[in-house]
Chain A
Amino acid sequence: MATDVAVQRYRKWYAMLLRLYPRPFRERFGEGMAQTFHDLCRERRGARRGLFGFALWIFCETLVGIVQENTTHMPQLGKTVLRVALGALAVLMAPLAASQFVEDWHWGMRGFAAVYAVFFATGMVFALLTRKMGSWYYKAVVGVALVAGVSLGVVEHGPGGGLGTSGAPVVPQCAGGGGDWGKPGPAEGGWAGVDVVRDGGDARADRRDAAFGRAALPGAEYGHWAWCVHGVVHCLRFPVPARRFGSGVR
């Protein structure tokens, strides 16, 4: 059964909880909410019913309202950043979980932080490119382009240390697309994805759908340039094995 002490205690906690509302909302409705909570507690006490479960429900319900109100008052860019940050964190769970089961996968804290930064940057680029797109098809294509670009960077140059399909560093293909593709692997697949989307975006932009071209091209170029930068760094770090340029090269 609810006692006066318990009611006072819950009222105090509820008043503290109300401070989490945005200031304009709190100033307008805070007093009414506190009063309503007090009325509800008094009703429960009058009916000689317990207060703990009821207070817990009210606190949770109010907490949901607090999150909603804070999100509503957040500027659009802030919402986008928050969504992308949480999305990147969710995606990061995949390598984090995989590292527990795959042998020789030792990224460490720095590695995970770097990959998170890449995921976050990619998410922001995606959000900015697609912010005015109505079609999910276009968004998906831009997403493919970005994922292709990032997969190139992460697979080839990520915290794992530039592993190709054979475990050796793969020769970058950034210089005009020349050279041998070598054995098919994630990097080659990623590069092909970037290429296809870029060419597709080019073709569509030439014809009728300029919006698609405007969105797909920067998406593909992001992947392209990410790959080129990583390629340059790779060239500096690893000597280029001649065998990867085909048998004609001596």
Chain B
Amino acid sequence: MAKKNTVPAPLTPAVLHILLVLATGERHGYGIMKQVEADSQGTVKMGPGTLYGSMGRMTQAGLVRESAKRVDPEMDDERRIYYELTNAGRAALQGELQRYRGVVAVAEGRLAYGD
């Protein structure tokens, strides 16, 4: 029988970007999409299918939660659902960044050895 993997699986790029955006405060769907595009300098473009599919899984995993509906003063008078990071979401983001640091350290070591 295969051994159970205790190491948390790496986050998908979409989930990582959403967590990064929500780390600075709560946002609605369109706001998340625009911020992801800006953060990645236009290289990551996600549509509503990817965004809300990821949000569904993240909500289920307890990484994000919905906050109250309200109007975005910069846009229009439509009421929107805002999303915010939970403590578990913040911990997952920190864990992922730690994993990235480890990968970068190994890569730098290998490159230095190559030189």
CB neighbours (8 Å) of B28 from chain A are 32
- Give the residues from 1 to 48 in chain A that come closer than 8 angstroms, CB to CB, to chain B: 25, 28-29, 31-33, 35-37, 39-40
CB neighbours (8 Å) of B30 from chain A are 35-36, 39-40
Contact partner, A57, options B2, B29, B47, B75, Cβ 8 Å: B47
* In the assembled complex, B95 has its CB within 8 A of some CB on chain A: no
- Give the residues from 48 to 91 in chain A that come closer than 8 angstroms, CB to CB, to chain B: 57-58, 61-66, 68-69
Q: How far is the CB of B84 from chain A (nearest CB, A)?
A: 14
Contact B75 A62 (CB under 8 A): no
Give 14 pairs: A residue, B residue, CB < 8 Å, sorted on A: A28-B56, A32-B29, A32-B80, A32-B81, A33-B29, A33-B48, A35-B29, A35-B30, A36-B29, A40-B30, A61-B47, A63-B49, A65-B50, A68-B53
CB neighbours (8 Å) of A68 from chain B are 53
With A134-B1, A134-B2 known as contacts, the answer to whether A62 contacts B49 (CB < 8 A) is: yes
- One digit per residue, 1 when the CB lies within 8 angstroms of any chain A CB and 0 when it does not, for chain B 86-98 equals 0000000000000
Contact A64 B2 (CB under 8 A): no
Task: List 12 additional contacts besides A32-B29, A36-B29, A61-B48; criterion CB under 8 Å.
Answer: A25-B56, A32-B81, A35-B29, A35-B30, A36-B33, A36-B52, A39-B30, A40-B48, A58-B47, A58-B49, A61-B47, A61-B49
CB neighbours (8 Å) of A37 from chain B are 48
The distance in angstroms between the C-alpha atoms of A64 and B47, with both chains bound, is: 11
Contact A66 B1 (CB under 8 A): no
CB neighbours (8 Å) of B51 from chain A are 36
Q: How far is the CB of A208 from chain B (nearest CB, A)?
A: 15
B interface with A by C-beta (< 8 Å): 1-2, 28-30, 33, 47-53, 55-56, 75, 78, 80-81
Contact B47 A62 (CB under 8 A): yes
A-B contact count (CB 8 A): 55
Q: How far is the CB of A192 from chain B (nearest CB, A)?
A: 32
The distance in angstroms between the C-alpha atoms of A58 and B52, with both chains bound, is: 13
The distance in angstroms between the C-alpha atoms of A61 and B80, with both chains bound, is: 22
User: From A14, which residue of chain B is reached at the shortest CB distance?
Assistant: B48
Contact partner, A65, options B1, B29, B52, Cβ 8 Å: B52
Query: Which of B2, B47, B49, B53 gathers the greatest number of chain A CB atoms within 10 Å?
Result: B49
A interface with B by C-beta (< 8 Å): 25, 28-29, 31-33, 35-37, 39-40, 57-58, 61-66, 68-69, 134
CB neighbours (8 Å) of A63 from chain B are 49
The distance in angstroms between the C-alpha atoms of A61 and B53, with both chains bound, is: 11
Contact A29 B50 (CB under 8 A): no
CB neighbours (8 Å) of B47 from chain A are 57-58, 61-62
The distance in angstroms between the C-alpha atoms of A36 and B33, with both chains bound, is: 9
Contact partner, A69, options B2, B29, B53, B75, Cβ 8 Å: B53
With A134-B1, A134-B2 known as contacts, the answer to whether A36 contacts B48 (CB < 8 A) is: yes
CB neighbours (8 Å) of B2 from chain A are 134
With A39-B30, A58-B47, A134-B1 known as contacts, the answer to whether A33 contacts B52 (CB < 8 A) is: yes
